[in-house]
Amino acid sequence: EAQVTQNPRYLITVTGKKLTVTCSQNMNHEYMSWYRQDPGLGLRQIYYSMNVEVTDKGDVPEGYKVSRKEKRNFPLILESPSPNQTSLYFCASSLEGSYNSPLHFGNGTRLTVT
């Protein structure tokens, strides 16, 4: 089944403890992106990647890192998580980065930082 898989689905951690949220897609998509969703703010883009080894900042990149060493994987790294990064995170991918290419989303990771 074609899908975007995120792990874990739920994560509770403490301030300052490095964590990684994994994202993998099996559709051979070039473009991948991370979003966070917060009440009243909608979904906001954190980082995106047009293809392997090419990544760039989205609208809210502070406190996050990403890497794209291979096409299928796009992990989100929080080097020193803080409570304001408590949120619902979604990974998404599309065949290409263009106007005419639907984004497909994973099922989300709910992160709580205490």
Residue 79 Cβ vs another protein, minimum distance, rounded to whole Å:
22
Residues 50-109 within binding reach of another protein (CB under 8 A)? 50, 56-59, 88, 90, 92, 94, 97-108
What is the Cα–Cα distance from 92 to 44, expressed in whole angstroms? 12
Residue 94 Cβ vs another protein, minimum distance, rounded to whole Å:
8
CA distances from 58 to 3, 4, 14, 112 (A): 23, 20, 25, 22
What is the Cα–Cα distance from 77 to 106, expressed in whole angstroms? 17
Contact footprint for another protein (CB under 8 A): 4, 31, 33, 37, 42-43, 45, 48, 50, 56-59, 88, 90, 92, 94, 97-108, 110
